[in-house]
């Protein structure tokens, strides 16, 4: 039971691995969305098991929903080259793909 809190982070790591894999853009987009959603849900399931007070979930649920929404919303996967581009990072070219150089809509 000591390693239960580690489970959600495995889901986030799998989401990052999906972004680096070489697959079709539509498949990568769907897999990334589902992986982020499932890891957020596993985080909500694991939190009470770790001894967290249930009242604290009032603050955790909106924060986790916001982080998941931002992760899905600001990660664009290019249809042409299937490159994942995060458009909310500072000091990154948000207008063009880093792999193929095409414009991001």
Distance CA(89)–CA(101), nearest Å, equals 17
| Residue 62: predicted pLDDT | 94
| Residue 65: predicted pLDDT | 94
**Domain boundaries defined on the chain:** 4-86
Element (H, E) at 75: strand 75-77
Q: Indicate the SS3 state at residue 89.
A: coil
Q: Which of 17, 18, 20, 71 is nearest to 43 (CA)?
A: 71
Please check whether residue 92 is in contact with residue 80, taking contact to mean a CB–CB distance below 8 angstroms.
no
| Residue 2: predicted pLDDT | 67
> For the segment 43-77, what is each residue's pLDDT rounded down to a tens digit?
888 888 777 788 888 898 999 999 999 988 888 88
Residue 86 phi, psi (nearest 5): -90, 120
Q: Which two tokens stand for residue 87?
A: 């458009």
């Amino acid at each position: 039971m000591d390693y239960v809190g580690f489970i959600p982070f495995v889901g986030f790591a799998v989401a990052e691995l999906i972004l680096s894999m070489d697959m079709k853009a539509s498949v990568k987009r769907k897999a990334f969305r589902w992986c982020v959603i499932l890891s957020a849900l596993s985080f909500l399931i694991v939190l009470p098991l770790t001894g967290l007070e249930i009242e604290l979930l009032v603050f955790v649920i909106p924060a986790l929903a916001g982080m998941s929404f931002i992760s899905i919303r600001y990660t664009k996967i290019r249809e042409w080259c299937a490159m994942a581009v995060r458009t909310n990072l500072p000091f990154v070219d948000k207008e063009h793909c880093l792999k193929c150089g095409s414009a991001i809509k």
